[in-house]
Structure 1
Amino acid sequence: MRAWNRPLVLFTGAMILLVPLCAAGLLLDPRALGGAPIWAKPLKFSISFVLYAPTLAWMVSLVRADRAHRVASGAATVVAVASTVEMVAIVGQVLRGRASHFDVATPFDTAVWAVMGVSIAVLWVANLVIAVVLLRERSLTPSVAWGVRLGLLVSLLGMAVAFLMTGPSGAQVAAAQAGDGMPAVGAHAVGVPDGGPGLALLGWSTTGGDLRIGHFVGLHGLQVVPLVALGLLLLVGRVPALRSELVRARLVMVAAAAWTGLTLLLTWQALRGQPLFAPDALTLLAAGGLVVGTMLAVSAVLARAPRPVVREAVAA
């Protein structure tokens, strides 16, 4: 294992310092924006980056070959720079009392949102490069290798959900056609305006769909899937079936498929304008199918696991 990518480590340290500052802002700054405390967004983003950046730095450290490591490390540095740009924009807009996302009310706000859009796209491509490098890495045990690879791929899917938020909503288009202008382009919520009733701190809509839910769940597949792989390794001594590397690798694949299915399910639910805790029968049916399918897949993998050899005592 190589040293962790220094720019990502430094960025993680900056985000750790930013978390209490944003928490203080929540307590001391009474301003609200879009129906939520104005410091809630930078707090959520800084906490998310505290989880995301060191995970990615660890993954890059797993690459052994010199040339491949240089490529992955370069992409990780790009991630650190793009993430820094995004956080500077978010905090800067909070200090100005303006929205960082979707705000095109003034030329300056439009420029900030354009810079953020470019940084998000660059971030996605850099993560894809790291994923491709890790797909070619052969030094890891199969279960850990697939945990890292599939965690990155699920995370890329979660990031891609964010692109669904950037197009103008029907209400925004209607307002523009009516001559009221379009001060914002894009929205988190589906079927209801942004800024309505939402979950505490998270802000996820409780009256309509919210694309941030699928985005959040998919993004943190980066941690969940590798943790499944590492957890299976810890259980090897207690569960005989897990002594097989093939079994552990297959279970990691099942976990990745289940997390992918959950991300898609939550995104589909949001696109249909449904609140997270008010699913209709079709959503519940799909969720049940996902649970049953995952359980059957796990059972099938364990059923095909090699049986431990039992040696019978032979009388002397």
Structure 2
Amino acid sequence: MTRVLMKHARPVERLCLTTGALLILTGLVHLVVFAVAGGPWYGPVSWRKPVTFGLSFGATLIAVTWVTSYLRVGDRPRTVLLAVFAADCVVEVGGITVQTWRRVPSHLDMETPFDTAVSMTLAVGGGVLVVLLTAFAVASFRHRPAGSTGMALAVRSGFAILLVALASGAAMIARGVVLVRTGHQEAAYHSTAPLKPLHAVSLHAVLVLPALAWLLSRTSWSETARLRTVAVAVGCYAVAVGGAGVWAVLTY
């Protein structure tokens, strides 16, 4: 799919797809570093963070670049939004990676002026992500997305579920900052744990559901069968998100 995208991509799309691939590569490189250097996988200071953030941001950037091609958005606004989104993804992964190599937490760390600057930059960057992705989500519901049978449902559902990921991410940062400001640094690091499964599950619906619709369009199935399959997949994904949400509420 990536090769097909590159073949017909506009300059900003090529930039975003290349950047996404490089972010995924950084995640894989840090997975090798973890295998060699060892250390804890969980906790505020671990190689898990550059691995998971590199892979997640890279995959999300590629997914959003592809999926927004189905939206009825002007070329200039989409170009600007995608360029800012790509830059923000690099800033987020870069800040997390730098702090991991420094062996200090990347988020909610206010120990030194530099740590505070990085933490606040990541928080602001998260806010920018919310604005950009919400704009794309709104666009998907204002006008019916183009594409094969089931793609409109997949794109709209993917963006709707992505909003859950944004909300849960914002909630983690907000609660953590409150705890840090009130002198509960360790509690701040642990406060994000209940929401992490919800955030992780809902983050990649914007890739999984449209990818399913695209794959189904390559089959000989009838339009009715393809649409029903996408609808079932959306329902299953919603159940998974709901389950992660219930778990978060019960353990928060």
The answer to whether the 8 Å contact 1:55/1:223 transfers is: yes
The aligned residue for residue 272 of structure 1 is: 250
The aligned residue for residue 183 of structure 1 is: 185
Task: Identify if the C-alpha distance between structure 1 residues 39 and 188 changes in structure 2 by more than 3 Å, giving closer, same or farther.
Answer: same
For the pair shown, which has the larger CA radius of gyration, 1 or 2?
1
The offset of 1:91, in angstroms, is 0.7
The aligned residue for residue 198 of structure 2 is: 214
- TM-score, L = length of structure 1: 0.66
The aligned residue for residue 24 of structure 2 is: 16
The aligned residue for residue 278 of structure 1 is: none
Mind listing any 5+ residue stretches in structure 2 that lack a counterpart?
Answer: none
The offset of 1:32, in angstroms, is 4.5
Q: State the one-letter code of the partner of 1:219.
A: L
Which whole-Å CA distance do the structure 2 matches of 1:125 and 1:183 have between them?
28
The offset of 1:124, in angstroms, is 1.8
Which whole-Å CA distance do the structure 1 matches of 2:25 and 2:146 have between them?
35
Task: Identify if the C-alpha distance between structure 1 residues 69 and 32 changes in structure 2 by more than 3 Å, giving closer, same or farther.
Answer: same
Matches within 5 A, 1:1-316: 3=9, 5-32=13-40, 35=43, 38-63=46-71, 68-135=74-141, 136-137=143-144, 139-168=146-175, 172=179, 176=182, 181-183=183-185, 186-187=188-189, 189=191, 210-237=194-221, 243-245=222-224, 248-249=226-227, 251-273=229-251
The answer to whether the 8 Å contact 1:168/1:186 transfers is: yes
Identity within the alignment, %:
26
The answer to whether the 8 Å contact 1:102/1:185 transfers is: no
The answer to whether the 8 Å contact 1:144/1:230 transfers is: yes
* Secondary structure at the counterpart of residue 18 of structure 1: helix
The answer to whether the 8 Å contact 2:44/2:189 transfers is: no
Q: State the one-letter code of the partner of 1:104.
A: M
The offset of 1:160, in angstroms, is 1.7
The answer to whether the 8 Å contact 2:145/2:155 transfers is: no
Q: State the one-letter code of the partner of 2:91.
A: V
- TM-score, L = length of structure 2: 0.81
The answer to whether the 8 Å contact 2:67/2:210 transfers is: no
Q: Deviations over 1:275-299 (max 9, x none)?
A: xxxxxxxxxxxxxxxxxxxxxxxxx
The aligned residue for residue 296 of structure 1 is: none
The answer to whether the 8 Å contact 2:150/2:226 transfers is: yes
The answer to whether the 8 Å contact 2:45/2:104 transfers is: no
Mind listing any 5+ residue stretches in structure 1 that lack a counterpart?
Answer: 191-208, 238-242, 275-316
Which whole-Å CA distance do the structure 2 matches of 1:20 and 1:228 have between them?
25
Task: Identify if the C-alpha distance between structure 1 residues 230 and 6 changes in structure 2 by more than 3 Å, giving closer, same or farther.
Answer: closer
- RMSD, matched Cα: 3.1
Segment of structure 1 superposing worse, 209-218 or 29-38: 29-38
Q: Deviations over 1:189-227 (max 9, x none)?
A: 57xxxxxxxxxxxxxxxxxx6211111110011122113
The answer to whether the 8 Å contact 1:158/1:263 transfers is: no
Size of the aligned set, in residue pairs, is: 242
Which whole-Å CA distance do the structure 1 matches of 2:125 and 2:43 have between them?
26
Which whole-Å CA distance do the structure 2 matches of 1:26 and 1:146 have between them?
39
Name the structure with the higher helix share. 2
Which whole-Å CA distance do the structure 2 matches of 1:112 and 1:91 have between them?
11
Q: Deviations over 1:58-99 (max 9, x none)?
A: 123334x6x623222221111101111101100110121111
Task: Identify if the C-alpha distance between structure 1 residues 28 and 144 changes in structure 2 by more than 3 Å, giving closer, same or farther.
Answer: same
Which whole-Å CA distance do the structure 2 matches of 1:104 and 1:36 have between them?
13
